[in-house]
Amino acid sequence: MTDKEFETYWKENRMTILDKNDEYRHAKENFKIHSGADLILFGIPVVAGIVSINNVPLQNELLKWVVSAVITIVCFALSVWVKSLITGTVSPDEVEQRLKEAKRRELVE
């Protein structure tokens, strides 16, 4: 099987292959909120955004909103990163790449 044929095969069967894999499903489910600690962890960006909009020393209201949005997005990214560190799992993209390479080796041989 050539690379082009494999890529076509992967596009057609990607979701079926990934949905059958337990590791991928677990990695995908890990980013959802399952406990009170997750609620606190993902509530931090909201609180940071609200607090920052009231305490940013800018006169322009639009700039306050932009700065607050940036702070919220950064806090959210940090929360997702901390959650992935706490749970100790890899991202779904990493699992997908590993599965894709394994499937490629399986079909080429």
Residue 17 is part of which domain span? 3-108
Burial of residue 68, with CB atoms counted within 10 A of its CB: 0-12 exposed, 13-18 middle, 19 or more buried? buried
Give pLDDT tens digits for 85-105. 877 767 788 888 898 888 888
Q: CA-to-CA distance for 31 and 36, rounded, in angstroms?
A: 14
Average pLDDT rounded to a whole number, residues 25-30: 80
Q: CA-to-CA distance for 70 and 66, rounded, in angstroms?
A: 6
Is the pLDDT reported for residue 29 higher than 90?
no
Q: What is the domain count for the chain? A: 1
DSSP tag of 88: T
Average pLDDT rounded to a whole number, residues 49-61: 90
Is the pLDDT reported for residue 109 higher than 70?
no
Q: Please give the residue that has the higher pLDDT: either 30 or 66.
A: 66
